Amino acid sequence: MKKNLTDKQVQAYRLVSGEFEGLSTDEAARRMSITPQAVNRLLDRARTVCPQLFPLLTKQEANVKALFAIGWTRAEIADQLQVGLSRVSQIIGVINDKQGTNLQLSPIKMLSYQPWMDNKIVRKF
């Protein structure tokens, strides 16, 4: 027998999930006309039925993930969200931790030795 989420569980998930409305549990409770504790109980039950939906991302985390999915760079995401590059990197780390993924927006470029560099080296003493 396949278990499904109830309409209330789906509503709570959509209100609280950053991939949808991204409200706090208090705001979701007001919208649903129930207590914040009831919202948490609905989400806990939803987690047991559909664990793949959890953990929830915040609105900002969901935005970064969505922009990454369409191929934006860290700098473009930082400009769009009006945050620093370090904040974007921090958000990516949180998404990776929460979802067990490994988002890498751009490969790390490393300088490697090339023979033509020999005459470009300047030593200062």
Assign 55 a pLDDT band (cuts: 50, 70, 90). confident
Average pLDDT, the chain: 83
> Are residues 92 and 105 in contact, defined by beta-carbon separation less than 8 angstroms?
yes
pLDDT at 32 over 70: yes
pLDDT at 51 over 90: no
Alpha carbons within 13 angstroms on the beta-carbon side of residue 99 total: 17
> Are residues 47 and 53 in contact, defined by beta-carbon separation less than 8 angstroms?
yes
